[in-house]
Structure 1
Amino acid sequence: MIDRRGFLRLGAVGGGAVFMSGLYGKAMAAAGYEDFYFVQLSDSHWGYKGPANPEAQNTLRRAVESVNALAVQPDFIVFTGDLTHTTDDAAERRRRMGEFKQIVGGLKVKDVHFLAGEHDASLDNGAAFHEFFGPSNYSFDHKGVHFIAVDNVSDPGARIGEAQLAWLKADLDKQAKDARIVVLTHRPLFDLAPKWDWATRDGEQAMALLMPYSNVTVFYGHIHQENHHMSGHIAHHAAKSLIFPLPAPGSQDKRTPLPWDPAAPGKGLGFREVEAEAKPVAYQITEFPAMKG
């Protein structure tokens, strides 16, 4: 019988690249930690209409179908922001959030964690997001891993802010220095491409709080492409979008969407599985296309 790890490695042959993010701590070999996996989706931009994705009304639904078709369902699912496309109309913003919530309600897995993106939250400091999805920063534990959702989008200035940094410090103070910690956020916490808004203005303060912990990994969205970066011992992994891909960081003057390819409508779009392995501590990332077929 094939186990979960073997299934993932076979699935990667057809699903996409596999990236291993390994972190090692002595206590992590202790009993009580279990392997598990979750799915990360990001940047669905529900409500977008434009040439970058003429099939925008169908892409999110097809991504839900693709996740539901996984042979082994994940423990939980995370959406790392930009659930909806920005609008100045407060009523339309809420309508889009309601439609998004209804569509993702079709997921087989009901344990779903949502983060805001600047398209969801920057125009009203997250008010509508809070109404539909609850707090924009929070933490939870799953099978020996401590997850922290950081909101770096509700502030229109792209800051986490002093109050939330104090909350983050208090949350981290409860963790052992070798605790397994996964940070979920929308914007990168490092300066990837500041001129494109691919940075967090006080991200270095968050990173300074995280640095003393030996087993930290960050998963984020925002840049609409797979990207892997190391800040010392901390790995950062950006996810693909469910709406349109963007160019490589800083590769051109503006971050305009890559042209739609009618011959390959799902090109550059996708979601990922992340398997959290207990011994040794590692995160196996398997990329999948957003749409079947």
Structure 2
Amino acid sequence: MDRRDFLSLAAVGGGAVFVASLPGCGSLAGTDKSAGTDFYFVQLSDIHWGYKGPANPEAMVTLGKAVATVNALDIQPDFIVFTGDLTHTTDDPGERRRRMNEFKSIVADLKVSNIRFMPGEHDASLDRGMAFKEIFGATHYRFDHKGVHFLALDNVSDPGTKLGDEQLAWMGEELDKLDKAAPLVVLAHRPLFDLVPKWDWATRDGARALALLQPFQKVTVFYGHIHQEHHHMTGHIAHHSAKSLIFPLPAPGSQDKPTPVLWDPAMPYRGLGFREVDANPAAASYVINEFPVLRT
């Protein structure tokens, strides 16, 4: 563990899981994160702002605590990405927009100004992303950062849990512009592979997206939706899911339906958290550090 990792851990007072030994990841010990092309970003997912229920009786304060925890990191990330389900679903279009604006107001307190937003099905499936686009912008896009290409996909606005022909065509066009040896990070809400299709933990045309990614030598996918840490390989492509900031869900396929794990008053934020991703573009390697949200 280098000095930056140690100080980050001390800042939040919690533990981290280093997954550098996983396929698709590598160690960055001893590198200077503030210089050169190395960098790190923070992923937060599945906030469900507006949720009220027994799975998290403190739902109104969890997001604020997460913002404060990220702001307390010793070295601030280059950017922050929210990988979907920013808000909890509602049939009322006015309430949907109110929740999105409240969410946006709270995360405006983050010290980092470079924030990327992506929709989840709770944000976008009922209106095909209309409200999300009004408040946050595009639902899928590409950007580059210090030698790494990022592709943010939308597999939630289509209520059929698909990317769709139009987006897949756009994805192919964007990928055609890139060097197949360059590091590529894909961001999505749902998993692109079939994790548990009966739970909606899949993308119906995800295999087509993975086929487009297959020629690239260094691909890593970060996603949300399943409210827990999970790691998977499809060929040489590594997939890493993020924890939720509202409630955990059961292990994949472990029961009939993915109902929230019961709230434990003795361990109120168990299973909730966010992650840092340290990137070394020269080696196309990543170290993933998992952080808890603490009750203070």
Residue 179 of structure 1, CA deviation: 1.1
Q: What are the residue-to-residue correspondences of 1:105-116 with 2, within 5 Å?
A: 105-116=108-119
1:1-293 to 2 correspondences below 5 Å = 4=4, 14-20=14-20, 23=24, 34-291=37-294, 293=296
Query: Shift of residue 16 of structure 1?
Result: 1.9
Deviates further, 274-283 or 182-191: 274-283
Question: Bigger CA drift: 220-229 or 2-11?
Answer: 2-11
Secondary structure of the residue aligned to 1:177 is coil
Deviation at 1:280, TM superposition (A): 2.6
> Separation in 1 of the partners of 2:284 and 2:10?
21
- The answer on whether the counterparts of 2:71 and 2:110 sit within 8 Å (CA) in structure 1 is yes
Contact 1:228–1:237 (8 Å) recurs in 2: yes
Q: Residues 90 and 113 (structure 1 numbering): CA distance in 2 closer, same or farther, change over 3 Å?
A: same
Q: How far apart are the structure 2 equivalents of 1:217 and 1:120?
A: 25
Question: Alpha-carbon deviation of 1:279?
Answer: 4.3
| 1:232-255 per-position Cα deviation (integer Å, ceiling 9, x unaligned) | 100000000000000000001110
C-alpha distance in 1 between matches for 2:114 and 2:131? 21
Q: Deviations over 1:175-210 (max 9, x none)?
A: 111111000000000000000000000000000000
Is the Cα contact below 8 Å between 1:22 and 1:282 reproduced in 2? Answer: no
Shift of 1:14: 3.7
Superposition deviation, residue 42 in structure 1: 0.1
- Scaled by the length of structure 2, the TM-score of the pair is 0.92
| Per-residue deviation, 1:13 | 9.4
Write out per-residue CA displacement over residues 53-102 of structure 1, whole angstroms, 9 at most, x where no aligned residue: 00000000100000001111100000000000000000000000000000
Q: 1:253 to 1:41 in 2, by over 3 A?
A: same
**Contiguous gaps of at least 5 residues in structure 1:** 25-31
Distance 1:13 1:134 in 2: 35
Q: Distance in 2 between matches of 1:35 and 1:55?
A: 37
State the distance in 2 between where 1:273 and 1:75 align. Answer: 11
8 Å Cα contact 1:12/1:287 also seen in 2: no
* 1:239 partner amino acid: A
Local SS of the residue matching 2:19: strand
Letter aligned with residue 48 of structure 1: Y
Deviation (angstroms), 1:4 = 3.8
Distance 1:226 1:278 in 2: 24
CA distance in 2, matches of 1:204, 1:11: 40
Deviation at 1:145, TM superposition (A): 0.3
- Alpha-carbon distance in structure 1 between the residues aligned to 2:294 and 2:141: 30
Contact 2:14 2:292 in 1 (8 A): no
Structure 1 counterpart SS, 2:267: coil
Whole-Å separation in 1 of the counterparts to 2:182 and 2:127: 35
In the TM superposition, residue 216 of structure 1 has moved relative to its aligned partner by 0.5
Compute the displacement of 1:290 (Å). Answer: 1.9
How has the CA–CA distance of structure 1 residues 142 and 183 changed in structure 2, closer, same or farther, with 3 Å as cutoff?
A: same
Q: Deviations over 1:227-276 (max 9, x none)?
A: 00000100000000000000000001110000001111110000000000
Q: Cα–Cα, structure 1 residues 180 and 103, in superposed 2: closer, same or farther, change >3 Å? A: same
Contact 2:127/2:157 (CA < 8 Å) preserved in 1?
yes
Residues 67 and 109 of structure 2 are in contact (CA less than 8 Å); yes or no, is this contact kept in structure 1? yes
Residue correspondences, number: 285
Conservation of the 8 A alpha-carbon contact between 1:192 and 1:249: yes
Alpha-carbon distance in structure 1 between the residues aligned to 2:217 and 2:168? 19
1: distance between equivalents of 2:257 and 2:173?
A: 38
Q: Please tell me whether the aligned partners of residues 59 and 242 of structure 1 are also in contact (alpha carbons under 8 angstroms).
A: yes
Taking only the aligned residue pairs, the percentage that are identical comes to 65
Superposition CA RMSD, Å: 1.9
Check the 8 A contact 1:37/1:274 in 2, yes or no: yes
Matched AA of 2:89: T
